[in-house]
Amino acid sequence: MSTEKTKSVAPSMDTELARLVVDRQLATCEEIEKARLAQQASHRSFADVLVEQEAVTSSQLSRLKKLIQESRDRQLPGYKLVSVLGAGAMAKVYKAVQLSLDRPVAVKILPKRLSENSEYVKLFYKEGRAAAKLNHPNIVQAIDVGEAGGYHYFVMEFVEGHTLYDELANGKVFSEEEALKIIIQIATALKHAHSQGLIHRDVKPKNIMITPEGVVKLADMGLARSTGDAEAAQAEAGRAFGTPYYISPEQIRGEVDIDFRADIYSLGATLYHLVTGRVPFDGPTPVAVMHKHLKEPLVPPDHINTGLSSGIGEVVEVMMAKDRAKRYASTDDMLLDLQAIAAGEAPLQARRQIKDNVLNGLADAEQNGPPSADIADAIQQPPAVQSSLLTYIIALAAALAVSVLINIVMLLK
């Protein structure tokens, strides 16, 4: 038996050209075979015969050859690119096959124009390293990162399914139960990332994948940053990184010490979108939207969708507090409340946080005057505080009524 290994041979230009012509329905298999026979008989090029037989035009032939050459340039060692999954401003994502394990993967490839920019290349590899630190069933797994033929690529787990954004774009409004199933899985993913010292910084529906089995996965670590990366923090100071509809106020301000609470805010904005069918703040421009994140009070989600429980309204408002000190003190606390309302229980962590916010606001008011609008909004939320406040208001109204009656009696005398 021969021990010589069989080498894979790249398909010829004619073979790839024939495949593309058939795939694009420019000619039938029978017409391709007829062209091959004519080529062999005349010793002309296969491309020339295709044009002569009017299977393709000269311009179509030029475009097909260009596609083939681009595909060859992008071929990566150990992987076979199959189809395009999507494209963004910074990269194109392909479905591919990892040849050594014969399994589907997703490959993100940096365009040639950006591959020549050292800053973009640095960010690209940073994304790969950040993803490689994480190993969690609700996070898209990193596999490989490298460069071939002048192209930089990042290989990751292929997720069969769709994004959360796809469903929202089709007008779906999620039930509270459906939304919590999704958000709890992402919250557990964030808990893992935060425990590894990483902040995602771009939690949004487009970065959340859902498999046919209902497994939810957090994707795209392109903006992820280590909490201990002081150099990156200083370099990004004063710049807003994130997506306007879901970005936290501190990210908008370009603060240096961004932490896990930025992800909590963005997850809250995502939950808000799921259960109301609209983003928390909208506007004609990204700047207008971000201004609202900074200044405009949040309309509670249960005021828009009255079928929601008051518990989910309380949780979202704590997640999306403009002052991050008034959000959840940890991802664990947030997860406890999400699980509690999913089980039909009260969100105790949120109520404790709201109570603390109210007490702090009242203490500040004694020194600095009346509480601010966000404190006044917070006072309305927790039932326990609302009840005691209502009792106080009734008592005050009664006292005022008695005072008015006494004054009327005195005047009549």
Residue 271 to residue 78: CA distance in whole angstroms = 40
Query: What number of CA atoms fall less than 13 Å from residue 126's CA on the CB side?
Result: 16
Q: Strand 92-98's sheet: what is its strand order?
A: 79-87, 92-98, 103-109, 151-157, 142-148
Cβ–Cβ < 8 Å for 38, 53: yes
Q: Is 356 among the residues known to form the active site?
A: no
Residue type, 38: A
**Phi, psi (5° rounding) for residue 198?**
-115, 140
Q: Which of 202, 220, 263, 302 is catalytic?
A: 202
Residues with a catalytic annotation lie at 202
